[in-house]
Amino acid sequence: MAVTWRFAFALGLSIAWMASVAVAANEGQADLDQATQRKLEAKTLTDLGEVIRLCESALNKGLDAENRVLANQLLVATLIQRGSQVARMIFEDRTDPKWTDYRQRALEDLQRAVKLDPQQPEAFFRIAQLQFLPGGDEKQAREALEQAIRTSKDQPVLRAQALVIRATLEADPAKKLADFTEAIQAAPGEASALRGRGMVYVQQGKFQEALADFDQALKLAPDHVPTLEAKATTLARLKRFDEALAVLERARKLAPDSVEPLVERARVFEFREDHAAALAELNEAERLDPGNPVVLLLRADIFRQMEEYDKAMADVDRALRLRPGLDMALRFRAALLADQGKYAEAIGQLEALVAKSPEDLESRMQLAYLYTLDRKQQKSIEIFTDILRKDPRNVAALRGRADTYLGIGKHAEAIADYEQAVKLRPDDPGILNNFAWVLATSPKDELRNGRRALEMAERACKLTDYQQAHILSTLAAAYAELGDFDSARKWSEKAVELGSEDQKAALRKELESYVARKPFRELKTGNEPEEQPKPRRRKSMPAAKEAPAPTAPQPAKPHAH
């Protein structure tokens, strides 16, 4: 009997202890229940703050394993909701001087959420957006963006939005295109992905593909003015000018107070070489937004093409008075000086700009071109080489150095650079033209390759609708190198017919060679006494969102693209 009594007593103690533990383990249950109810009713940031407080209290008081999981899930969801609401307030209006404080509050919630649960793509996406704002941590932004992409396989729209941001930041056109395409595959209804891919196609010269993407984006967002503007620009590149103007008229009606449709209309007229109409549009844009530096610089570019340099310089100087030190205006000013043969002054201005901003790639490239025009080719090559040391895939630098090598007779070096450039940009008519030219005309037997020169020259001609005199002259040179002098003469005569006055002398010299049934040979040293080629005129103006910084040309063959 004694043993049984002791056992019963011990069992009673054990049951009482277990009950007390269970009660302690769920002491926070009431707070969790209240937090759940408050979450359903929450309407303000204060309400969400109370839910967070109750979740924290429940966890601190104690919950069993199952309820602890539920409390953490509720806490994470509420932190993300509050952080996202604060973030949206910032994106909607950054005029509040306290917006950086709000960003910090939002980041604290979101970063705490991903620390508790690192599988939260929305939180990572918001962190990236906030950190990409001025004064944010770009490294953390990029890391958060990668996490958002990694964790969002089950959230296709958010994944597409993250991929669009990454594509926008990407410099490599192939990677950029891949991200936009993946975004479209993830969320076919994401218009921003279609717009972005369309812009990449425009940059690659794939205008039909670009137009298809813009049309699809407009089906999803018919009144999106920037897409209408991009479509119009693409139509203009396809020489469908009336359609382009009609699209821009619609954009103008949707945004009657915006200068951008006017600027795009000016671009279309500029494509048509209707300078008077382009100026009329820009004058109206300047009336709507007096002192807009982009409008002033675009108008200056039209004056530049008309060779009215005083008017062009007046607009540039006015832009600089309004925005002292504006880099794109200073680069434009240097280009205007170079147009007038004032190389020393132009170079001095760009050297000062580069000294102030050594990593300013656009200014360094323009300076390199000006060094070449001023017969300081070695300085030009040094700049291009330094750029390529840091970025071996920089096509503009590869072509710039190749053209400079070509201009001083270093054909093997030029061919090596053209080889790399054409791999990276196989449909660039300028690269194809100059590469074909050296393969067809080099006096060095071991470097010539007439068959390949003909293939590239034909491709360049197709890309330019057989309307560019200097490219037709390259086609003629390729035929002559292969011994087909009848074809060489035919295309050379066409080149002379289409050529401008400053091209005709060189083109006739080539034609004389083919009439004599001799292939054309050219080896420049960079010290020729002939007149330097005129700077290449722009055949398109940048959009109002872009920095209009017309630069000096890439010198190569006297009438090169």
Cβ-contact 407, 559 below 8 angstroms: no
What's the rounded Cα separation, in Å, for the pair 517 and 522? 16
What's the rounded Cα separation, in Å, for the pair 441 and 523? 8
Domains of the chain, each with CATH number or no CATH: 24-151 (1.25.40.10)
Residue-wise over 486-496: b if at least 16 C-beta within 10 A, else e? ebbbbbbbbbb
Assigned token pair, 124: 């990572």
At how many degrees (to 10) do helices 156-169 and 173-186 cross? 170
Cβ atoms < 10 Å from Cβ of 50 = 16
Task: State the residue for tokens 């601190």.
Answer: 60
Q: Give Cα separations from 165 to 103, 121, 149 (angstroms).
A: 19, 14, 10
What's the rounded Cα separation, in Å, for the pair 48 and 333? 55
Assigned token pair, 41: 């009713």
Cβ atoms < 10 Å from Cβ of 271 = 20
Model-level pTM? Answer: 0.70
Report H helices in 93-224: 99-116, 121-131, 138-151, 156-169, 173-186, 191-203, 207-220
pLDDT per residue of the chain (561 residues) written in tens, 0 to 9: 444 444 444 444 444 444 444 445 679 999 999 999 999 999 999 999 999 999 999 999 999 999 999 999 999 999 999 999 999 999 888 788 889 999 999 999 999 999 999 999 999 999 999 999 999 999 999 999 999 999 999 999 999 999 999 999 998 888 999 999 999 999 999 999 999 999 999 988 889 999 999 999 999 999 999 999 999 999 998 889 999 999 999 999 999 989 999 999 998 999 888 999 999 999 999 999 998 999 999 999 999 999 999 999 999 999 999 999 999 999 999 999 999 999 999 999 999 999 999 989 999 999 999 999 999 999 999 999 999 999 999 999 999 999 999 999 999 999 999 999 999 999 899 999 999 999 999 999 999 999 999 999 999 999 888 989 999 999 999 999 999 999 999 999 999 999 988 899 999 999 999 999 999 999 887 666 544 433 333 333 333 333 333 333 333 343 444
Assigned token pair, 103: 């960003």
Q: Give Cα separations from 235 to 209, 255, 541 (angstroms).
A: 12, 20, 14
Residue 527 half-sphere exposure toward CB, CA atoms < 13 A: 2
Cβ-contact 179, 166 below 8 angstroms: yes
Cα 126 to chain centroid distance, Å, stands at 22
Cβ-contact 82, 45 below 8 angstroms: yes
Cβ atoms < 10 Å from Cβ of 37 = 12
Q: Name every residue whose Cβ is closer than 8 Å to that of residue 524 and which is 6 or more positions away in sequence.
A: 406, 407, 408, 409
DSSP class of 522: -
Sign, CA dihedral 440-444-445-449, equals: negative
Q: Name every residue whose Cβ is closer than 8 Å to that of residue 363 and which is 6 or more positions away in sequence.
A: 327, 330, 331, 350, 353, 354, 357
Task: State the residue for tokens 């958002």.
Answer: 148
Nearest Cα neighbor of 480 from 443, 516, 520 is: 520
Cβ-contact 454, 421 below 8 angstroms: no
